[in-house]
Amino acid sequence: NAGVTQTPKFQVLKTGQSMTLQCAQDMNHEYMSWYRQDPGMGLRLIHYSVGAGITDQGEVPNGYNVSRSTTEDFPLRLLSAAPSQTSVYFCASSQDRRYDSPLHFGNGTRLTVT
């Protein structure tokens, strides 16, 4: 029972490089989301999806793209990395968007942009 799987666990990028953070869940969850965690800031929502083919912006979407072609996968793309994107990124999913569906989190990706 894998739950939510994020890869990679660590990544170092140079300014201007692009990369994709992968997120996959095997629980048939409709709702998936990406958060970034910065010291003293808690978790902030970047993008979310309520189902395959549907995505929307969260609180801090600039510099990030997402797509949801399947129920299982929800990759996060950084098109041109900036030092301000240095953070820990979490993918999370829940059964649906209902408020009583608890989030299941991946183990996070620590990204450093130099």
41 forms part of the interface with another protein (CB under 8 A): yes
CB of 111 to another protein, least distance (A): 13
Nearer to another protein, 30 or 85 (CB): 30
For another protein, the binding residue among 19, 27, 45, 52 (CB under 8 A) is: 45
CB of 16 to another protein, least distance (A): 27
**CA 24, 25, 31, 35: dihedral to nearest 10 degrees?**
-50
Nearer to another protein, 14 or 40 (CB): 40
For another protein, the binding residue among 43, 63, 75, 77 (CB under 8 A) is: 43
Nearer to another protein, 17 or 50 (CB): 50
Nearer to another protein, 28 or 40 (CB): 40
Asked whether the beta carbons of 101 and 31 are under 8 A apart, the reply is: yes
Asked whether the beta carbons of 74 and 21 are under 8 A apart, the reply is: no
- 15's CB contacts (< 8 A; 6+ apart) are 81, 82, 83, 113, 114
What's the N-to-C CA distance of the chain in angstroms? 36
Instruction: Give the residue ranges of DSSP H helices in 4-100.
Output: none
Binding site for another protein (CB under 8 A): 31, 33, 35, 40-45, 88, 90, 92, 96-103, 105, 107-108, 110
